[in-house]
Structure 1
Amino acid sequence: MPTHAPPVSAPAAVAPADLEAEARDRKHGVIYMLVAALGFSLMGLLVKIASTTFPTMELVFTRSLVMTVITYAAIRRSGLSPLGVDRTTLMLRATFGAVALSLFYLGIARLPLGDAVTIQYTAPVWTAIAAAVLLGERLRPLVLLGAVLSMAGVALVARPSFLFGGVALDGIGVAAVAGAAVLAGLAYTFTRKLRATDRPMVIIFYLSWVGMAGAIPFALGGWVWPTGWHWILLLGIGLTTHMGQVGLTEGMRRLEAGTASAIGYVQVVLAFAWGALFLGDGVDALSIAGAALVVSSVLLVVRRG
């Protein structure tokens, strides 16, 4: 009986097909991540426009309602149970995600769109830190360096008056988006845990219905009934958010974290572009420098060994 490894000629015959399938899967992953970046950036633009007419929690409610209907229909069509498997973690993920969403919408209403998205994009740094604390993952020195860089980037974007003088961004808006980034990091950490038990659509479904239920008491107090094209605007927020969630979920399944996150930076670029083109937001050197630092911090966090 031979003690050496078997000849490689047999598996080599199927290797080209495997490589082709892997390349095709990666190509689809890139497309999905670009779809996610486009969807989330358009969501931010629509929320910014709608926030001049509708209260924040009404926007959260309508967005969550649209996504609940879409995801429930997809779950039933797939034959899955909408209750999921790890229900405790599903509820924790949904709760943190829903609160993060509400804070992010509040921040979008008060800040330039590109600046809000830049601050929120520090979430992967907080995901890595939360995973180390809650899931026991190793906290690499690069993660700590990334956290420092991300905070420096946020400072350049927010420009607090006690550091820079002059006019700073709205303090409540900055605090809301920064809080949203931290809570989103916690939500993504629970998502990592759920990969072993629950399908992506079930995770999104929980986020949707928990967000809808949590927003109802706050939304009813200052409800504004849509008229005319406002119905299309609110529907668009729900559809673009669903577009982003599906693109992100499917893209992350097909790509390494570093590749997926690098492609996701397109969202920051698009947010600045939509703000300049449609909202009259100015883009200055400090905001660009801050965005570059945030991008660098996330690159360090997701860098592969």
Structure 2
Amino acid sequence: MNSPEENIVFASVQEPIRSDSRSENAEEKTKPKQPFFGFGIICSFTSTIMFTSSHLLAKMVTSVGAIELSGARCLVQFVFLLPYMTYNWFRHGVDIMHCRKTFLLLWIRGFLGLIASVMFYLCVERLPLGDAVTMLFSSIIFSYFFAFIILKERPTVLDIIFSIVIIAGVVLIAQPPFLFNSSLTYDSKRLYGTLFGALGACALGLVYVFIRKLGNRTHPTMNVFYFSFAGMVGSLTLTPLLGTFKLPCMHDVIYLLFVGLLSLSGQILVSNALKYEKTGTIMMIKSVQIVLGFIFQVTILKDFPSRLSIAGSCLVFISIIGIAVKKIFNEYSNRKTKNKRLNE
């Protein structure tokens, strides 16, 4: 989804919100010196533009379905990552296979990423670009839920409040007929698109949890590599079984190539940004994808959003900003407490 990914902190998408104090303290490690002032911010903002551009190109692909689209993206990423992974394997002794437990977690993470990616592209096919990008950010709700179930991390009251606001925003985007009982409002295509978006967000929330579970045992590129390989194999297996396999037209081949390249470049830039900037800062910048999604939708696709879609997206955007501000405040408070203890 990278990120939609699908997009993991490094593997396409944002880092899951950490609610426990141990995780907060872990982020207080000293950041390396930036090459120049604002380097991390520039990397993060550039990645945001790349991710949104990737979603736009995916929206413009018409000759293949979501599974082929996801498979093509994974193929491009795999081809470009393979030389780097091979070099690290032989030159630096980086273990690609790892132990059995880590190997299993990487494969589960890879196939969950494939599911999230396919669901997101199905959502993009049926919803306007701005709405689809907004649905992607609702994965935060599921990351809270699965982190509580699997990692035993309790969400705070503010986390729950922001999650409720995000759900309200998603409802405004979906416009279900039992709440908006009007023939002018009802649109089965929109409802299916929202359903696929919710399923993709759910899978992406699980991806975040598995990446957290992997922790520092693997290099960030390993997550992307396994996602790319699993996505490529899964897509090539599913399309013949479902009888949906078809080759893209030459026009779409270029789009598919850039979908993969932009997604991979965005992941690399996010990874670099996180070396120099706090997670809360990166989250705030990444949320600009929602705004860019609507700008691209209006200026390039000539598709003007409804008032309800704008209202729903605003609720999600405000909630993401609120979560990011909370994260920054927690980071500042932890740093202040730590410095106070050192001075005593």
In structure 2, the residue corresponding to 1:275 is in which secondary structure?
A: helix
Q: Which residue of 2 aligns with 1:246?
A: 268
- CA drift at 1:167: 2.1
Aligned ranges for residues 290-305 of structure 1 at < 5 Å?
Answer: 290-302=312-324, 303-304=326-327, 305=330
Q: How does 1:1-305 map to 2 (within 5 A)?
A: 22=33, 27-50=38-61, 52-78=62-88, 79=92, 80-85=94-99, 86-164=102-180, 165=182, 166-169=184-187, 170-220=190-240, 221-302=243-324, 303-304=326-327, 305=330
**Aligned-residue offset at 1:53:** 1.4
Distance 1:20 1:253, change over 3 A: closer
In structure 1, C-alpha distance between the alignment counterparts of 2:31 and 2:218, rounded to whole Å:
29
Distance 1:82-1:238 versus aligned 2 partners, 3 A rule? same
Whether the 8 Å CA contact 2:76–2:261 is kept in 1: the answer is: yes
Q: Per the alignment, do residues 228 and 199 of structure 1 end up closer, same or farther by CA in structure 2, a change over 3 Å counting?
A: same
Aligned-pair RMSD on alpha carbons? 2.1
Deviation at 1:286, TM superposition (A): 2.1
Q: Relative to structure 2, which stretch is displaced further, 23-32 or 141-150?
A: 23-32
On the 8 A contact 1:153/1:289 being kept in 2, the answer is yes
1:61/1:299 CA distance change after superposition, 3 Å? same
Q: For residue 133 of structure 2, what is the amino acid of its counterpart?
A: V
Residue 31 of structure 1: how far off its partner (Å): 1.9
Which 4+ stretches in 1 moved above 4 angstroms?
A: 19-26
Q: Which letter maps to 2:68?
A: E
SS of 1:167 mapped into structure 2? coil
Q: Aligned residue for 1:11?
A: none
Q: Which residue of 1 aligns with 2:339?
A: none
What is the rounded CA distance, in whole Å, between the counterparts of 1:26 and 1:141 in structure 2? 36
CA contact (8 A) 1:152 1:293 kept: yes
What one-letter code is carried by the residue in structure 1 that aligns with 2:276?
R
Determine the C-alpha separation between the residues in 2 that align with 1:20 and 1:185: 27
User: Matched residue of 2:178: which SS?
Assistant: helix
Q: Secondary structure at the match of 2:250?
A: coil
CA offsets per residue over residues 136-171 of structure 1, 9 Å max, x none?
223211111121011001111222222123324521
Distance 1:76 1:25, change over 3 A: farther
Aligned pair in 2 of structure 1 residues 29, 193: CA closer, same or farther (>3 Å)?
A: farther
- Report the alpha carbon displacement of residue 54 of structure 1 after superposing the two structures with TM: 1.0
Q: Is the 8 A contact 1:124 1:301 kept in 2?
A: no
Q: Matched residue of 1:57: which SS?
A: helix
User: What do residues 105-145 of structure 1 show as CA deviations (whole Å, max 9, x unaligned)?
Assistant: 11101110110111111112322332222112232111111
Flag the 1:144–1:20 CA change in 2: closer, same or farther, 3 A: closer
State the 1:64 CA deviation: 0.8
CA shift for structure 1 position 183: 1.1
Contact conserved, 1:36 with 1:248, CA < 8 A, in 2? yes
- Rg larger for: 1
Instruction: Report how far residue 173 of structure 1 moved.
Output: 0.9
The 1:201–1:238 alpha-carbon spacing in structure 2 relative to 1, beyond 3 Å, is same
Aligned in 2, Cα 1:155/1:53: closer, same or farther, shift over 3 Å? same
The residue matched to 1:163 in structure 2 has which SS? Answer: coil
What amino acid is aligned across from residue 75 of structure 1 in structure 2?
A: M
Distance 2:211 2:127 in 1: 28
CA distance in 1, matches of 2:149, 2:77: 31
CA 1:26–1:129 in 2, change beyond 3 Å: closer, same or farther?
A: farther
Amino acid at match of 1:60: S
CA drift at 1:20? 11
TM-score (norm 1): 0.86
**Alpha-carbon offset, residue 23 of structure 1:** 5.9
The alignment partner of 2:266 has SS state of helix
Counterpart contact for 1:93–1:187, Cα < 8 Å: yes
- Contact in 1 for aligned 2:31/2:276 (Cα 8 Å): no
Cα distance in 2 for partners of 1:117, 1:76 equals 34
Matched-pair contact (CA < 8 Å) for 1:113–1:275: yes
Does the 8 A contact of 1:55 with 1:219 survive in 2?
no
The alpha carbon displacement at 1:36 in A equals 2.0
